[in-house]
Structures are given as C-alpha cells and as structure tokens.
Amino acid sequence: MMLLREALAPMVRRQDYSAPAYRIRAVELTFDLDAAKTIVGSRLSVERDTALPVQPLRLDGEDLNLLRVLVDGQSVSFRHENGQLVIDAPAAEAFTLEIRNTIAPEKNTQLSGLYASGSGLFTQCEAEGFRRITYFLDRPDVMTVFTVTLRADKKKYPVLLSNGNLLEQGELANGKHFAKWHDPFPKPAYLFAVVAADLVAREQRVLSRSGKEHLLQVYVKRGDLDKTEHAMNSLIASMVWDEARFGLALDLERFMIVAVPDFNMGAMENKGLNLFNTKFVLANAATATDVDFDGIESVVAHEYFHNWTGNRVTCRDWFQLSLKEGLTVFRDQEFSMDMAGSPSARGVRRIGDVRVLRERQFPEDAGPMAHPVRPDAYQAIDNFYTATVYEKGSEVVRMMHTLVGREGFAAGMKLYFARHDGQAVTCDDFAQAMADANPDSALAANLELFKRWYAQAGTPRLQARGVWDAEARTWTLTLAQHNPPSPGQADKLPQLIPVALGLLKRDGTALPLQLAGEAEAGGTERVLVMTEATQSFTFVNVDAEVVPSLLRGFSAPVVLDDGLSDADLLVLLAHDTDAFNRWEAGQRLAANRIRAALAAPVEAPVVLDDAFIAAMRALLRDASLDAAFKELVLTLPSEIYLADQIEGIDPQRLHAVRESLIDQLAAALHADWAWAFEAHQVKVGYKPDAWQTGQRALANLALAMLVRHAVATGDPLWPGKAYQRFKDASNMTDRLGALEALVNAHAELAEPALARFHAQFKGEALVLDKWFMLQARAPERDGRVFARIQQLLQHPDFTLGNPNRARALLFSLTHFNPAAFHRLDAAGYAFWADKVLALDTANPQLASRYARALDRWRNLAEPYRSAAREAIARVAAKPDLSGDTHEIIQRALA
C-alpha cells in the first residue's frame, strides 16, 4: 500500500531541476464552456531546445478526457506515462501541436482547474491546475503568449473573461456568444484564468503617472455591487503606492478582479484577471468588520503587487515560491503600514504581522512540516503554500531591507527588474540583485551567510546577556545563537541576525549609543549585525545599569532569550519608544505569570500581582497612546502562541490558567474598562481607518471584559447593555463585538442574540460564516462549545463543500480553539479524523490544510499525545488517501 501511494506522489527535489527541453511560444485555446462537459481545443506552437539532447515531449495532464492529438495537422503516436502524455521525439525543431479534450467542471470539487461555483465557471491554476484543463508543459519556467476564445450560452454566462485584452466578441447560433482575449505578455500556465458567469462590475478609469489610461473592474454577482467600493479603492491605492515607492506602473490596459464564492485560498494573481475569494472583495459597513476591511486592503494589494513580483518576474520552479510570495507579502505589509499613516499605527500593524508569524510560522518551524523558506523537496506543492514560504519569507526580505536601508532596497528592486524582467528566476537571483545594488552593505559583505535564511529550516534561538562594568563605564552585550534540529537538518550553521536595539536607563530615558572604537555616539537606536555563533559588542560611556531593548521592531524572526527580569520588563512596558518591544514587554510579563501558574500545583489559586495590574491600568489610561495599541497590550498572549513555547503542553490547564487571568483583569480593572468603553465610542460616520478601527477594537475589548465580569458576578447590567448595542449597532464591527462579548462570556442573552443575528443575515454567506465562526471559537466551558459545534454540523446552512463555511466551523475548532479541540475524552481528535477523511475525497487541498491541526501532537502532554497519535494513525490507514493529505500525515508520524 505504501508503495502504491508513493508511486502516486513521488518526491520532487530542487537539485533535480533541469531546464525545459521544449518551449511553448504561443497557444490558442478555445473553450466550449458547459458545466457538465467543456470542450477544450489547444493549438500549441512548440519549439525544441536544440542545445539539449533530443528527448520525448512530455505534457502534464490530470483528469482529462483526451479526444485527439495532431502534430502539424497529422495524427501522431503518443502514450501515457506517469500521468503525462508522451510524444516520442517529434521530427521537427518547431511544430504545431493540436489537442482536443473534454473536462467536467461541475464534477470538479477540488477547486483546481476549471470548476463551477455559484452559477459560474472559474479557473484556479496555481500551482498545477492548468494540467486539469488541458495537456501542457505545466511548469513556471515555460512562458507562453495566450490567445483564448470562449464560447458559451449567453443567458447563463453573459460575462466571458480571460487574461489580457478583449479582441473581439459577438453572437453565435443557438443562444450562444463568444469572446476572444489576447494576453501580450508571455506567462506561465499557472497565471492563466477564465471566467464565465452572470456578473456585474464596478468600473473605474484611472491614469497612471505616465499618463496611460487603465480600466479597472471589480466583478461580483448581481446584488453585491454595494460591497465593492473598498476593493476598488484598495486597488487604486495599491497602484499609486507601487508607482510612488518602487516606480512600478501597471502594464495592462485592463485590470480585473472577480469574486468567487468557492475558493481554496485567499485570492490569485492571474495576469490582469485576479480571482478572489468573496471574503477578500465584498465589504460594506453593515456586513463586514474592520478586520475584514483590512484583509481586503492587504489581499487586493498583495495580488496587485504580484503583477511585478510574480508575473513580470516569475519563479524558475516551485522551490522558489518564496521569491514571489515572501517578497509580495513584504510589499503588502509595507503598503498597509504606509496606509495606516502614523508611526504608532505602523507599530500596531507590525505587531499584528509578528503575531501571525509567531502563531502560525513558529509552530510550523518546530513541527514535522518544518521546511526552509526555499524547500528542498516536496510531494505535493500545494502543501508548501505555507507560513514559512509566505510570512517567514517576508521576514527574510525585511531583514535585507534592514541591512541595506529603504533607498538601498529600492535600488535593489530596480536592479532586479532591470536584470530579470520577463524571466523565471530564483531566490538567489533576488538576493544577488539586492547585494549588487548595495555593494557597501552588510548584506553584500555577508551574502552567502545571509542566504542561509533560505536554506535552513527552524527558528533560531538568540540568547543575549549584558554586563555593565562600572569602572570601565562599559556595557557589553554577548549574543549567542543556536538553531535546533528540524526534519532532515540535524546540524545548523550560524545565521546572519540583524539585532536592532536601544538602551534605556532605569528612568526610561534613552541612552546615546557609542560602540567601543567609535569617535562619538550616534543616535539612540542601531542595528548590530550578528554573523557568528557568539559575538560581543561593547558600548562605552555607560554610567549606570541599563535595560536593553533588543530586537526592536522584531528585526529578525528568532526566539529571544534576553534574561530580563520582570522589573526590567516593567521599565520597557512603561517607556520603550519602540512600539513592538513595548507591547512585547507586556506580553512577556503576562506569559511569565502564566508559566508560573502552570508550574504551580493545580489546586494553587492563580493570583495576578498588583504590579502587573497597575502597569496594565496605567497603560490603559495613558492619554498619549492610541487605542489600537492599548487593545493589543491588554490582550493576553494567545493559547496557540503559548502552547508553542511550552514543552509538553496540557491545553486544558493552559486554558484554565489563561481564562482565570483574564477574569482577574476584568475584575481588577472594572472601573477602567467601564471608562474605556464609554471613552472610545466613535461618534462620526463609519470609516475603516486606523483611528476608528482602534477605537472600536478597544471599546469591544472593554465590553467583553465588562460582560465577562458581570456574568461571573450575576450582574445583569452589562449583558443588557451589550444586547442593546448588538441590536442597535450601525456597523458590523460593533454588532459582532457585542455579540461576541455575550457568546464568549456564555451569557444567557447570547442565545437570543445568535438567533436574531442569523435571521437578520441569513442571505449573506460571508456573515453566516461569522455566525458559525463565532460560536466555534468561543472559549470552551464544560464542553459546551464542542457540543455546539457538533450541533452546527447538522445546521441546514452548513456545508463541507464551500471552503469558507468549512473553515468557519471545522478549522475554527481545530486550528483556533485548542481548549475545545484537545479533550480528555479524545472526541476532538475523532472529530478531526472524520473530517479529514470526509474532506479528502472531495477537496484534497482543503483536507491537507485541515489535517495540519495535529502537526504538533508530539508537544502535547499525556493523555492528549497518545490519543492524537491514534487519530492520526486512523487517517493514515485509509488506503486511498490523496497525495496532499498523505504527505502531511506521513510527516506527522515520521
């Protein structure tokens, strides 16, 4: 059985890369579109690379029904081998290959290739979906000029779209019509897209700086036009930003965004025709929260930015995925920071980005799926669209930015495009361009060392200890790094770690920094570049003991052990000018308390100390700080983050301890929460900007604390107020915040509120997702949340077939609600196994992502650990598991 599976999904290795023996210069595609049976005609202009030895032409294909194959108009002999169509050594160096095949979009539940969603037909081709449409050289280094003719029933599919420019459209017999599209830019097949659906579009004509006119369109189903303004604004803002910051202008006459209700991922950057999960397009104040608005802004920007970083310059092979993804995430993060405006709002965004990294990527790096930013091997490439490739990849780009500076980075980008526009290249090519454009930088001086970030998996541990020498008036910082082993990488070499730092005196003022050997002090913040396993840096003219603020702005994706005491952390929490480290000090103070409680006997009550409470109160009341920042500081580190940091975790214990600390913060700061709630009401019209978002976030946190405390003490006032606010809210952020306060506190009023919410929004798919999600993510109490999830599986609005809905209920439990999932009776694990198997037959990509909920089973305490292992073994025993899920499960058990 093992053998059979591995035959299905052989290991693909980076070192086996070889250039394609054939190129496809141009392709003419015709689609006779129909949900049950679509006929695909393909005319390929193929060229053999005469510099290489003659070899068979091997075309990728999957789930295709082949009708005919012609070479230069003549039938030709071919064979099928390992899922490929093989034509033995065609005679000519250049020839035309004609292929006809059929596909069945409505049976395509994988949502890869051409599939039906809502009443339309849509494609998803990254990474290897094009081969599910027709036979092709489905690899990113084969770039082709596409001309596409679409024919379909006009009533059912009035809108027919593909990449590039519309050449022609018109009527056909039998109620059909056609559209012919041409994309002048050669592109890999993964960037191909087709849409046939009944849609309407918001349109806007814009001029780029060069004076060129562009048509922007956001296509949605009828009735959703009033939810497209924010996506359009985000698109325009992205265009302006990319021209201003990097001199990158839109190269297309027409740029389209299309909303798709069933979508495996967030969105897809197909050339000129971006396809989006509806979740990242549709928003208005009544249906979407501030968080949704933010998500739309960053995903629209992300896909738009791919037009240069991904499409104009693409990846040589899928091992280079982070070349486009890490860089594009970096770009969208920078864009969102620039959009946020103030330094404080930038800091808030940075904290949010680091939170995502540490909650998703750090556990990945510590588990069985740990892989380098540029992986060395995979079975299913779909499994490598990971937090490591995306978020850690972005941190790697950010470190380059730190090392060469803002201007230097822009110069590096310029050189990268000058060298590689129109090419399919590697991560090395990008790093080389950055270094070459900045020959005097620490990056250029240490390029090979720096590139270990691409090659080594795992999160480096950075130990930092400072010693003050009163007599010499020096303070010496000794740094030591260590990177624990990960699968396939037992021994790691030191990495280049940029350590941004400042030194604070105990009164909170910043010390001018002067390293030994320097003539004078230069500022109060700088970046030390660590290049060895251990290294010391001596600062001079230090007259008193200092508190170091290390790794400011989270200048490297490492785990820092700086040995600071609670007293030191309180200084940083009160005074650090770096928003990230100030927040981090508060998180660490809280984490220290949680750790202490976990180490104490179970019966010992967990009591929050006055110093911590006073510090939190002072921060909450500090008039000089933004609400958004306060909300972040006053939110305790998540169970997911903490669980990753603690060995042999008991999720129930952790939940109980954390909940008890929140209860105490709710009680001790009761008057402050009441003040915060009243003081942060937004009294002007709704706008999802940084200021209003912060006000609402803090007011919602305050309300949650007030309701929690009221439910605990039996006081009806705040639950009543929350219910009223829930009913009267003028926007979804406030409405959902109030509902969440009731549900999370297990208030009696939660039930009528949930019923009312469902009735009010039953026609809005994305809002129903919130309704499911909210219930599934509520803090577990006596198994109630798990029981509710079981019930919701039977709800008429629940379906496994829509990825957003499946995520709202299933992933909410297994990925986001550890205390509901990790149960003593192992029912959560049984649930997980059942759902992995159910998802796997229909949608392997979704199933394998879902399966990853138990990646870190080895870090669980008993009896959780054994029970989790048993559930994984049950999934492994299924004989016809998909290649995607098989890879995850087999790694988990390895």
Q: Measured between alpha carbons, how far is 301 from 293 in angstroms, rounded to an integer? A: 12
Q: Measured between alpha carbons, how far is 862 from 651 in angstroms, rounded to an integer? A: 11
- At 123 the three-state DSSP class reads strand
Question: Per CB under 6 A, which region of 261-269, 450-458, 746-754, 848-856 contacts ligand 0A1?
Answer: 261-269
Judged by beta carbon distances under 5 to 8 A according to partner kind, the member of ligand 0A1, Zn ion, none in contact with residue 296 is none
Side-chain-side CA neighbours of 12 within 13 Å: the count stands at 18
Q: What is the DSSP letter of 443?
A: H
| 570 binds ligand 0A1 per the rule CB under 6 A | no
Considering CB under 5 A, how many residues would be counted as binding Zn ion?
A: 2
Please identify which residue in the block is written with the tokens 């700061």: 669
| 265 binds ligand 0A1 per the rule CB under 6 A | yes
Q: Which helix (H) or strand (E) holds 658?
A: helix 651-668
* Contact string 831-860 vs ligand 0A1 (x = CB under 6 A): --------------x---------------
744-763 binders of Zn ion (CB under 5 A): none
Q: Does 297 participate in catalysis according to the annotation?
A: no
Judged by beta carbon distances under 5 to 8 A according to partner kind, the member of Zn ion, ligand 0A1, none in contact with residue 486 is none
211 φ, ψ to 5°? 95, 0
Q: Measured between alpha carbons, how far is 466 from 548 in angstroms, rounded to an integer? A: 8
Q: Measured between alpha carbons, how far is 481 from 493 in angstroms, rounded to an integer? A: 10
Q: Measured between alpha carbons, how far is 582 from 553 in angstroms, rounded to an integer? A: 10
Pick 127 or 636: Cβ nearer Zn ion? 127
| 325 binds ligand 0A1 per the rule CB under 6 A | yes
Please identify which residue in the block is written with the tokens 């099928």: 80
Shortest distance in whole angstroms from residue 322 CB to Zn ion: 10
Judged by beta carbon distances under 5 to 8 A according to partner kind, the member of Zn ion, ligand 0A1, none in contact with residue 268 is ligand 0A1
Shortest distance in whole angstroms from residue 315 CB to ligand 0A1: 11
Shortest distance in whole angstroms from residue 314 CB to ligand 0A1: 11
- At 239 the three-state DSSP class reads helix
Pick 115 or 241: Cβ nearer ligand 0A1? 115
289-308 binders of ligand 0A1 (CB under 6 A): 302-303
| 269 binds ligand 0A1 per the rule CB under 6 A | yes
Q: Measured between alpha carbons, how far is 29 from 130 in angstroms, rounded to an integer? A: 12
Pick 300 or 550: Cβ nearer ligand 0A1? 300
Judged by beta carbon distances under 5 to 8 A according to partner kind, the member of ligand 0A1, Zn ion, none in contact with residue 382 is ligand 0A1
Shortest distance in whole angstroms from residue 330 CB to Zn ion: 11
Q: Measured between alpha carbons, how far is 301 from 305 in angstroms, rounded to an integer? A: 6
Closest by CA to 284, choosing from 725, 731, 770, 691, is 731
Which distant-in-sequence residues (6+ apart) come within 8 Å of 258 by Cβ?
122, 161, 195, 197, 199, 218, 219, 220, 273, 274, 275, 276
Shortest distance in whole angstroms from residue 892 CB to ligand 0A1: 21
Please give the residue whose beta carbon sits closest to ligand 0A1 in the complex: 265
Considering CB under 6 A, how many residues would be counted as binding ligand 0A1?
A: 15
Shortest distance in whole angstroms from residue 769 CB to ligand 0A1: 19
Tokens of 615: 């510090």
Shortest distance in whole angstroms from residue 562 CB to ligand 0A1: 35
| 332 binds ligand 0A1 per the rule CB under 6 A | no
Shortest distance in whole angstroms from residue 124 CB to ligand 0A1: 5
Shortest distance in whole angstroms from residue 397 CB to Zn ion: 13
Closest by CA to 264, choosing from 288, 248, 280, is 280
Pick the catalytic residue: 128, 303, 391, 395? 303
Question: Per CB under 6 A, which region of 123-131, 392-400, 459-467, 678-686 contacts ligand 0A1?
Answer: 123-131
Judged by beta carbon distances under 5 to 8 A according to partner kind, the member of Zn ion, ligand 0A1, none in contact with residue 483 is none
Judged by beta carbon distances under 5 to 8 A according to partner kind, the member of Zn ion, ligand 0A1, none in contact with residue 124 is ligand 0A1
| 318 binds ligand 0A1 per the rule CB under 6 A | no
Closest by CA to 295, choosing from 349, 246, 355, is 349
Strand locations in 262-318 (E): 267-268, 273-277, 314-315
Judged by beta carbon distances under 5 to 8 A according to partner kind, the member of Zn ion, ligand 0A1, none in contact with residue 738 is none
Shortest distance in whole angstroms from residue 190 CB to ligand 0A1: 8
Judged by beta carbon distances under 5 to 8 A according to partner kind, the member of Zn ion, ligand 0A1, none in contact with residue 644 is none
Q: Where are the alpha helices (DSSP H) in 255-320?
A: 290-306
Closest by CA to 497, choosing from 412, 396, 407, is 396
Judged by beta carbon distances under 5 to 8 A according to partner kind, the member of ligand 0A1, Zn ion, none in contact with residue 441 is none
Closest by CA to 101, choosing from 156, 146, 141, 44, is 44
Sheet of strand 38-48: strand arrangement: 74-75, 65-71, 94-103, 38-48, 22-32, 144-153, 176-187, 165-171
* 608, 665 Cβ separation under 8 angstroms: yes
Phi/psi zone of residue 551: left (φ > 0), alpha (ψ -120 to 50 degrees), beta? left
Closest by CA to 195, choosing from 275, 250, 253, 126, is 275
Side-chain-side CA neighbours of 835 within 13 Å: the count stands at 28
Tokens of 72: 């230069």
Q: Measured between alpha carbons, how far is 740 from 817 in angstroms, rounded to an integer? A: 15
| 382 binds ligand 0A1 per the rule CB under 6 A | yes
Judged by beta carbon distances under 5 to 8 A according to partner kind, the member of ligand 0A1, Zn ion, none in contact with residue 149 is none
Pick 302 or 805: Cβ nearer ligand 0A1? 302
Pick 303 or 365: Cβ nearer ligand 0A1? 303
Question: Per CB under 6 A, which region of 57-65, 119-127, 221-229, 416-424 contacts ligand 0A1?
Answer: 119-127
* 325, 429 Cβ separation under 8 angstroms: no
63-82 binders of ligand 0A1 (CB under 6 A): none
Pick 331 or 886: Cβ nearer Zn ion? 331
Residue 718's CB is within 10 A of a number of other CB atoms, namely: 27
* 611, 571 Cβ separation under 8 angstroms: no
| 264 binds ligand 0A1 per the rule CB under 6 A | yes
| 126 binds ligand 0A1 per the rule CB under 6 A | yes
Q: Measured between alpha carbons, how far is 546 from 473 in angstroms, rounded to an integer? A: 11
Sheet of strand 526-530: strand arrangement: 526-530, 497-505, 546-550
Shortest distance in whole angstroms from residue 275 CB to ligand 0A1: 8
Pick 272 or 498: Cβ nearer ligand 0A1? 272
Judged by beta carbon distances under 5 to 8 A according to partner kind, the member of Zn ion, ligand 0A1, none in contact with residue 295 is none
Shortest distance in whole angstroms from residue 152 CB to ligand 0A1: 24
Pick 328 or 848: Cβ nearer Zn ion? 328
Provide the sign of the torsion angle of the four alpha carbons 582, 588, 591, 593, taken in this order. negative
Shortest distance in whole angstroms from residue 387 CB to ligand 0A1: 12
Among 385, 771, 831, 864, binds ligand 0A1 (CB under 6 A): 385
Q: What is the DSSP letter of 506?
A: T
Q: Measured between alpha carbons, how far is 126 from 271 in angstroms, rounded to an integer? A: 12
| 267 binds ligand 0A1 per the rule CB under 6 A | yes
* 465, 486 Cβ separation under 8 angstroms: no
Judged by beta carbon distances under 5 to 8 A according to partner kind, the member of ligand 0A1, Zn ion, none in contact with residue 385 is ligand 0A1
Q: Measured between alpha carbons, how far is 856 from 812 in angstroms, rounded to an integer? A: 17
Pick 268 or 598: Cβ nearer Zn ion? 268
306-345 binders of Zn ion (CB under 5 A): 325, 328
Judged by beta carbon distances under 5 to 8 A according to partner kind, the member of Zn ion, ligand 0A1, none in contact with residue 126 is ligand 0A1
Active site residues: 303
- Interface with Zn ion by CB under 5 A: which residues? 325, 328
Q: Which residues bind ligand 0A1 (CB under 6 A)?
A: 124, 126-127, 264-269, 302-303, 325, 382, 385, 845
